[in-house]
Amino acid sequence: MPKTKPTATKENLEFAKRLADLLASAGHPRRGAGTYLSNRYKVSAVTANDWLNGRFRPNTDLARQIALDHGSTFDALYFGEKPSNANFSRYSVSEPAPGDYVGEIPFSDARGSCGGGAINWDAEQRRPLIKEAAWFARYKVKPENAMAVWADGDSMAEFIVDGDIVIFDTSKTRPRSGMIYLIDHPDGLKIKRLRRSIDGGWVLESANPDKNRYPDEIVAPDHAELLRIHGEFIYRQGG
């Protein structure tokens, strides 16, 4: 006799919706989500689709891992409780397997302006970002030289959007034309692309076609030495 599938319950259906929404926000829409879950978490396609159809929920350890991998919390995914740190939760990095080498990247509430306004550098430190050794090797940065800030505003919107977490290499503070930097500016921290002008000065360039709202800024040659660079861009996440 064929096995009868368990009946979906209200709690499991609510979990299924939260799971589908979480996956969609991470770029995995409902169509294909079952295959994605099956491949990533080494479960059968039937099991993954049962989760998504509200027949039952994964065990708590697996649910916790799914939540962490996709920037949520266990309580938010499993029980629908609002995360206590909603702004940061969607950027959480999955915890590596025990024994894996990892590095921590300092991350604070400081915001690098991609728009205008004063940005507070002396901001509260958040939980550091966790990256595996392969990440540091890929982007050729040492853990002690990496730092992360929020992106604020839309002046770099063709590349970095408001709300992104942006990581910089603090060992690279010599300006190179065409590269993006975190710059100490009289208005606060700025995230801008630097372009060398023909007269030896620099242009703090916005990556937004609306130059009326986000004009480029000229730094004259006799003020070029005043540029204080905190680090060169290496990575963005979120958005």
The first and second tokens of residue 187, run together, are 């208005």
Q: How confident is the model at residue 172 (pLDDT cuts 50, 70, 90)?
A: very high
Q: Are the CB atoms for 71 and 26 separated by under 8 Å? A: yes
Please give the pLDDT value at position 86: 32
Kindly report the pTM of this predicted structure: 0.54
Please give the pLDDT value at position 90: 33
Kindly list the structural domains of the chain, giving each domain's residue range(s) and its CATH number in brackets, ordered by start.
10-89 (1.10.260), 104-237 (2.10.109.10)
Average pLDDT for residues 62-89, to the nearest whole number? Answer: 67
> What digits encode the pLDDT tens for the residues 147-164?
888 777 665 655 677 777
Q: Which of the two residues, 214 and 231, has the higher pLDDT score?
A: 231
Residue 115: CB atoms within 10 Å: 21
> What single DSSP character describes residue 15?
H
Q: Which residues have CB under 8 Å from 136's CB, separation 6+?
A: 103, 142, 143, 146
Please give the pLDDT value at position 127: 65
Mean pLDDT for the chain overall = 75
Pair type for strands 102-113 and 146-152: parallel
pLDDT at 92 over 80: no
> What single DSSP character describes residue 58?
-
Q: How confident is the model at residue 7 (pLDDT cuts 50, 70, 90)?
A: low
Question: In this predicted structure, which of 73-77, 78-82, 191-195 has the lowest mean pLDDT?
Answer: 78-82
Q: How confident is the model at residue 17 (pLDDT cuts 50, 70, 90)?
A: very high
Q: Are the CB atoms for 175 and 202 separated by under 8 Å? A: yes
The first and second tokens of residue 137, run together, are 């090797």
Please give the pLDDT value at position 6: 60
> What digits encode the pLDDT tens for the residues 105-153?
877 655 555 544 334 444 445 667 777 888 888 888 998 899 888 777 6
Q: Are the CB atoms for 94 and 84 separated by under 8 Å? A: no
